């Protein structure tokens, strides 16, 4: 029998994949990645074995996820279509990387994922597979198997002694990790329908959020958030804390039509309290400390970085070169930003840094003005000159 490693979630699809592969001559090692989805991992492991896996790996990847994926994307200012913090997209190359490492250690011949043929995730997994382990076979059962409906899959699962939850299935397809949550399908497939309140679990409805604003101070060191209200936190705890604080005020809800890599448009709803706060705060700090040309250049690079991440091109030369640029740019972005959270809004109301480029003497309209207005006439004349004739 050939050995393969499967990215296993404990859901119906990836559970059915295990006996399905066995029928085709593959023994499966299940790999469960803990990226903060909050599942009961000992139950997930048991289910993998019950479904027929030879062995199960479960790795806590949360810290690596925040430090090596979420923070670089934050430093890059990467927001797909200007809105999506890429929480799901960032987790895929990480999961795929560890899957390949396990496959190599286990001398497996193949890599298996449970993605459909319509989504972005298949591309993110497979690009990492193909770059890190070009010799390995890739199998995507959900794209090719015989089951047409969920009911058929459940029948198959029962026949194979896979425990099937009798609870009514949620109409939504949900992906959660420690950074944020993505929700699609069900009524959300109607772009005109407002997302029902039930899809939101990380953020309160702004209507019932506190009637008093909350001020939060976030300290950054070279573009990395390190403290909340003066207290240092480790990366995962910092994100979890900001998700709680922001969520309490209904911050971080996103509703958008998204251009998928495979060419279709889809309606996506996200909850990202921490990501929303951090992107808003860091970009304001940048405005304080970066020169104008760097800021303008960075905005273009951010756009590209978001596309590369969304499109599964994380492990590529350009993305790595951009990381090096952002590291350089962020040598200056140390300082503190004060945000005000209120009824779904996150407003930056204060920023300070030892490396601030803001010079009060140049900006002021009051006493102490050092700006030499006599130079302005010549400046104005030359500025318009090329267009005048
Ligand atoms: N559209 C988002 C993305 O491509 C979220 C995908 C969520 N995946 C899921 N299985 N619900 O990153």
Q: Whose Cα sits closest to atom 10 in ligand 1?
A: 175
Rounded to the nearest angstrom, the distance between the alpha carbon of 46 and the centre of ligand 1 is: 26
Write down the CATH superfamily of domain 2-172: HUPs (3.40.50.620)
Mutate to test the pocket of ligand 1, among 85, 119, 270, 313 (most ligand atoms within 8 A of CB): 119
pLDDT at position 215 = 98
| Distance spanning both ends of the chain, measured CA to CA | 79
Confidence of residue 170 (pLDDT cuts 50, 70, 90): confident
Structure tokens at 282: 């860091």
Q: Which atom of ligand 1 is nearest to the CA of 185?
A: 11
pLDDT of residue 169: 74
Whether the CB-CB separation of 129 and 136 falls below 8 Å is answered with: yes
Q: What is the mean pLDDT of residues 78-102?
A: 98
- Distance from the alpha carbon of residue 65 to the mean position of ligand 1, in angstroms: 17
- What dihedral do alpha carbons 86, 88, 92, 98 form, nearest 10°? 110
Please tell me the distance from the alpha carbon of residue 57 to that of residue 52, in angstroms, as a whole number.
14
- Does the fold of domain 176-352 match that of domain 2-172? no
Question: Which residue minimizes the CA distance to atom 9 of ligand 1?
Answer: 175
Q: For ligand 1, atom 8, name the residue with the nearest CA.
A: 175
Q: Residue 89 CA: which ligand 1 atom is closest?
A: 12
pLDDT in tens, 178-197: 999 999 999 999 999 999 99
Ligand 1 pocket residue status of 182, Cβ below 6 Å: yes
Q: Name the residue ranges covered by the structural domains of the chain.
A: 2-172, 176-352
pLDDT tens, residue by residue, 26-67: 999 999 999 999 999 999 999 999 999 999 999 999 999 999
pLDDT tops 90 at residue 150: no
Q: How far is the CA of 202 from the centre of ligand 1 (A)?
A: 17
Region 176-352: CATH code: 3.90.1260.10
Question: What is the per-residue pLDDT for 1?
Answer: 86
Residue 120, ligand 1, Cβ within 6 A: yes
Please provide the average confidence, as pLDDT, over all residues in the chain.
Answer: 97
Q: What is the pTM of this model?
A: 0.96
> Does residue 282 carry a pLDDT above 90?
yes
Q: Is 13 in the pocket of ligand 1 (CB under 6 A)?
A: no
- Please tell me the distance between residue 10's alpha carbon and the centre of ligand 1 in angstroms: 17
Q: What pLDDT does 173 receive?
A: 92
Distance 86 CA to ligand 1 centre (A): 9
**Per-residue pLDDT band at 98 (split at 50, 70, 90):** very high
Ligand 1 pocket test target in 7, 121, 260 with most atoms within 8 Å of CB: 121
Is the predicted pLDDT of residue 166 greater than 70, yes or no?
Answer: no
Judge whether 365 and 242 are in contact, CB under 8 Å: no
**Nearest protein Cα to ligand 1, atom 1:** 268
What pLDDT sits at residue 127? 98
**Rounded average pLDDT over 161-176:** 85
Q: Which two tokens stand for residue 156?
A: 């198959």
Residues with catalytic annotation?
13, 92, 121, 173
């Amino acid at each position: 029998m050939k050995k393969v490693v499967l990215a296993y979630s404990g859901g119906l699809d990836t559970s059915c994949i295990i006996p399905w592969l066995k029928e085709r001559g593959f023994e499966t090692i299940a790999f469960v990645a803990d990226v903060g989805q909050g599942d009961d991992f000992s139950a997930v492991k048991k289910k993998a074995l019950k479904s027929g896996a030879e062995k199960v790996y479960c790795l806590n990847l949360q810290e690596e996820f925040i430090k090596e994926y979420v923070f670089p994307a934050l430093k890059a200012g990467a927001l797909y279509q200007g809105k999506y913090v890429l929480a799901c997209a960032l987790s895929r190359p990480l999961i795929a990387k560890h899957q390949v490492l396990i496959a190599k250690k286990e001398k497996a011949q193949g890599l298996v994922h449970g993605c459909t043929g319509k989504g972005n995730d298949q591309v993110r997994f497979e690009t990492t597979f193909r770059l890190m382990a070009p010799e390995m076979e890739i199998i995507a059962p959900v794209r090719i198997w015989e089951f047409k409906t969920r009911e058929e899959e459940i029948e198959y699962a029962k026949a194979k002694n896979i425990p099937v939850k009798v609870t009514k299935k949620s109409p939504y397809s949900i992906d959660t990790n420690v950074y944020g949550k993505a929700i699609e399908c069900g009524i959300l497939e109607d772009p005109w329908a407002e997302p029902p309140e039930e899809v939101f679990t990380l953020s309160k409805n702004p209507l019932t959020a506190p009637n008093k604003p909350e001020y939060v101070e976030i300290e950054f060191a070279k573009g990395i958030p390190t403290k909340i209200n003066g207290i240092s936190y480790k990366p995962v705890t910092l994100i979890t804390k900001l998700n709680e604080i922001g969520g309490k005020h209904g911050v971080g809800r996103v509703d958008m039509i998204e251009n998928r890599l495979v060419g279709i448009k889809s309606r996506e709803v996200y909850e990202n309290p921490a990501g929303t706060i951090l992107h808003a705060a860091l970009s304001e700090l940048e405005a304080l400390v970066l020169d104008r040309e760097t800021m303008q250049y960075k905005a273009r690079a951010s756009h590209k970085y978001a596309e590369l991440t969304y499109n599964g091109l994380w492990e590529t030369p350009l993305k790595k070169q951009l990381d090096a640029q952002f590291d350089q740019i962020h040598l200056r972005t140390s300082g503190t930003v004060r945000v005000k959270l209120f009824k779904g809004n996150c407003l930056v109301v204060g920023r300070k840094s030892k490396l601030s480029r803001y010079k009060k003497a140049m900006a002021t309209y009051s006493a102490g003005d050092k700006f030499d207005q006599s130079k302005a006439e010549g400046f104005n004349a030359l500025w318009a000159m090329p267009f005048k004739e």
